[in-house]
């Protein structure tokens, strides 16, 4: 399984990096919409929306919201990113509530009640803000002193933080899990395999990659501590995103959100941490002005 997982990553990573660095913002936003909506389709399945027509209508409704945001953001001088920024802030707030949801494992676990409503709302609050944050980062807005117009590199840095944290956590958990904290697990009821050692490894890996990426994007030496702080919070957010998707899968009684990617499961299995980290990184970057 590890070889299959690694091979799939070696194929996907260059394609993703090339798209981020070479495509213009409208194209990367359109491509991201396709990927995020595919993940949302799997989210509907985890919420046990069994009717294909119902899932299709819901997906079209979310696509219409994306189109509406882009259309409403047009201006004489190009695009105003106010709605994208507002959605990103809403996303940060949502993931705070998701953390509280994780503390109450049984909330919305019975799909015979209003559970589907809550999970569908959660899907919108996870996917749309992440997509907006991606567009905001890639566009290079705001163009504060020190960041030039390196939105492509900043988006790559934000995603690389999540990828590095995920990989570092995986290998740290496998090799050092149980050594520091014995048999204590990070979230045993939601994701029994996650360890505190893995969390620490992910934090270290994510912050290091975030700092290195920020230097490529034009961050100054004085800004590096702030970059490290935002990267750290983004890593923690990605863990919340990963755990929340695990919660959905536990409620649905499935191992993976799908089987599209060999060794990795579904699209949602690959972007769960990204959904949470992107709004956090985008808002943190804007707050500290790097």
pLDDT in tens, the chain (290 residues): 456 556 666 777 788 888 898 889 999 999 999 999 999 999 999 988 888 999 999 999 999 999 999 999 987 777 788 999 999 999 999 999 999 999 888 888 887 778 889 999 999 999 999 999 999 999 985 444 444 468 899 999 999 999 999 989 988 888 787 677 777 888 888 888 888 899 999 999 999 999 999 999 988 999 999 999 999 999 999 999 999 999 999 988 888 776 665 555 689 988 999 999 999 999 999 999 88
Confirm if 232 and 206 have CB atoms less than 8 A apart.
yes
Label residue 116 exposed, middle or buried (CB < 10 Å: 0-12, 13-18, 19+): middle
Helix 224-252 and helix 196-217: axis angle, to 10°? 130
CA distance 196 to 16: 29
Residue 5 is predicted with a pLDDT of 59
Flag whether the pTM goes above 0.85: yes
Q: What end-to-end distance do the CA atoms of the chain give, in Å?
A: 40
Confirm if 95 and 238 have CB atoms less than 8 A apart.
no
Q: Which residue has the tokens 């109450």?
A: 104
Residue 187 is predicted with a pLDDT of 84
Give, in degrees to the nearest 5, the angle at Cα 259 between 103 and 160: 65
> Measuring CA to CA, which residue among 274, 147, 271 is closest to residue 213?
147
Token pair of 287 as six digits: 């707050």
Residue 79 is predicted with a pLDDT of 78
> Measuring CA to CA, which residue among 245, 251, 272 is closest to residue 105?
251
Residue 105 is predicted with a pLDDT of 84
CA distance 181 to 160: 28
CA distance 231 to 21: 20
| Strands 74-75 and 191-195, bridge-based pairing | unpaired
Helix/strand/coil (H/E/C) assignment for every residue in 93-136: HHHHHHHHHHHCCCCCCCCCCCHHHHHHHHHHHHHHHHHHHHHH
Token pair of 256 as six digits: 């993976």
Q: 289 — alpha (psi -120 to 50), left (phi > 0) or beta?
A: left
Residue extents of the structural domains in the chain: 2-288
Give, in degrees to the nearest 5, the angle at Cα 166 between 160 and 170: 145
Confirm if 95 and 276 have CB atoms less than 8 A apart.
yes
CA distance 168 to 252: 28
Measured torsion, CA atoms of residues 169, 170, 176, 182, in degrees rounded to the nearest 10:
80
């Amino acid at each position: 399984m590890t070889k299959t997982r690694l091979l799939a990553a070696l194929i996907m990573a260059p394609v993703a990096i090339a798209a981020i660095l070479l495509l213009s913002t409208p194209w990367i936003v359109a491509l991201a919409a396709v990927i995020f909506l595919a993940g949302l389709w799997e989210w509907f399945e985890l919420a046990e929306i069994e009717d294909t027509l119902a899932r299709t209508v819901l997906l079209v409704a979310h696509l219409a919201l994306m189109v509406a945001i882009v259309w409403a953001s047009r201006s004489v001088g190009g695009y105003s990113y106010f709605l994208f920024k507002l959605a990103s802030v809403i996303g940060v707030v949502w993931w705070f509530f998701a953390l509280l949801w994780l503390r109450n494992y049984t909330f919305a676990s019975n799909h015979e009640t209003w559970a589907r409503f809550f999970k569908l709302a959660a899907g919108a609050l996870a996917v749309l803000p992440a997509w907006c944050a991606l567009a905001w980062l890639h566009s290079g807005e705001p163009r504060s002193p020190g960041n030039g117009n390196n939105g492509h590199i900043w988006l790559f840095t934000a995603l690389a933080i999540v990828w590095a944290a995920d990989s570092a956590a995986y290998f740290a958990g496998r090799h050092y899990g149980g050594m520091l904290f014995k048999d204590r697990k990070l979230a045993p009821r939601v994701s029994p395999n996650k360890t505190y050692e893995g969390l620490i490894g992910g934090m270290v890996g994510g912050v290091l990659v975030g700092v290195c990426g920020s230097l490529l994007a034009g961050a100054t030496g004085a800004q590096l501590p702030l970059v490290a702080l935002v990267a750290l919070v983004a890593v923690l957010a990605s863990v919340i995103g990963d755990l929340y998707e695990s919660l959905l899968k536990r409620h649905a009684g499935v191992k993976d959100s799908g089987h599209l990617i060999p060794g990795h499961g579904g699209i949602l299995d690959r972007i769960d941490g990204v959904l949470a980290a992107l709004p956090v990184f985008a808002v943190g970057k804007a707050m500290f002005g790097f």
